[in-house]
Amino acid sequence: MADRRRVIQWIALIANNAYLKGFAEGRVYRGSLKSICVPGLNCYSCPGAAASCPLGALQAVLGDYRYKFSFYVVGLMMGFGLVFGRLICGFLCPFGLMQELFYKIPSRKAAGSGARWLRWGKYVTLAVFVIAIPVFFRGDLGIGEPAFCKYICPAGTITAGLPLVAAQPSLREAAGGLFAFKVFAAAAIAAACVVIYRFFCKFLCPLGAFYGFFNRIALYRMSCDGNSCVRCGACSRVCRMGVDPSREPDSAECIRCGDCLKACPSSALGAGFEFVRKGGAKDAGECARG
């Protein structure tokens, strides 16, 4: 499962950034595909980006003086969430893969999965930086700034800022205090990802916060069969997102990596798209009650 997942993650990363010419020329793709959003976090200013980042697109529309809500981007994100839930985080998000690669760097790893209250950070980021600031804090021209992209997003700095600033002398000259801050913030997040598994997903990612709402009702779900579960706790011990899949198989924190499915000695856990799900039980809460 893990190997298959890694292959899919790489395919998703390459598909998201298929405009290879952009890397060679230090320019962004300007075709019409950019009007469509990909499901994962992938900055549209990355020279290779073939489509748009949903968070960037959402802030672009919310910050436009003509709009206060983006039906288009929210509708797309709802559609993605309803089909996949946070399977997107585990399989399709390019920055999710990057975080897992950072975590492979040899170092002392943090015990546990991090303080639970800190996980509210991603909901705060979604509410404040992605929605409130672009909508309510507008400049003289009525344009709101994309605060998440501007002050937080490490994907923008790592995959777009650094390559473009390296390639274009004019951007190098323009880079100042904000660029230095963003590089520092991205470095800090990357360093945190080295010691804490998917630090950004757990504590900061607004996209994960949004898709987490859909884990319970998405077509892709997990379940636990109380008759087969031997309550050994292997699933919760192996989960690096701090979830107990036997109690909360559809937790908003679960990124559907599948580690628990492999660890379960009795095949009590099942996962899959509705109607084709194998193993587990139809009732998601069965293990907890059993």
Partner 1 sequence: MSEKTGNILRAALFLIALAFVAAGVSRGEMSTVLRKAVTVCLECIGIG
Contacts to partner 1 by CB under 8 A? 28-32, 34-35, 37, 43-45, 49, 51-52, 56-57, 60-61, 64, 66-67, 70-76, 78-79, 82, 145-146, 149-150, 153, 156-157, 160-161, 164-165, 171, 174-176, 178-179, 181-183, 216-217, 219, 282
Using alpha carbons, select from 125, 186, 124 the residue that is nearest to residue 157.
186
The residue among 90 and 154 lying less far from partner 1, judged by its C-beta, is 154
Q: Are 158 and 48 in contact (CB under 8 A)?
A: no
Q: Report, in Å, the least distance between residue 187 CB and partner 1.
A: 12
Q: Report, in Å, the least distance between residue 116 CB and partner 1.
A: 24
Residue carrying the six token digits 């937790």: 251
218 phi, psi to nearest 5 deg = -65, 160
The residue among 28 and 135 lying less far from partner 1, judged by its C-beta, is 28
Three-class SS of residue 271? strand
The residue among 52 and 125 lying less far from partner 1, judged by its C-beta, is 52
Q: Report, in Å, the least distance between residue 241 CB and partner 1.
A: 22
Q: Report, in Å, the least distance between residue 108 CB and partner 1.
A: 30
Q: Report, in Å, the least distance between residue 141 CB and partner 1.
A: 14
Beta-carbon contacts of 176 under 8 Å, excluding residues fewer than 6 positions away, are none
Q: Report, in Å, the least distance between residue 274 CB and partner 1.
A: 8
Three-class SS of residue 113? coil
Q: In degrees to the nearest 10, what's the CA dihedral of 4, 219, 199, 188?
A: 90
The residue among 216 and 240 lying less far from partner 1, judged by its C-beta, is 216
- Sign of the Cα torsion 173, 43, 120, 233 reads negative
Using alpha carbons, select from 15, 43, 54, 13 the residue that is nearest to residue 206.
54
The residue among 8 and 15 lying less far from partner 1, judged by its C-beta, is 15
Q: Are 159 and 46 in contact (CB under 8 A)?
A: yes
The residue among 18 and 64 lying less far from partner 1, judged by its C-beta, is 64
Type of residue at 183: V
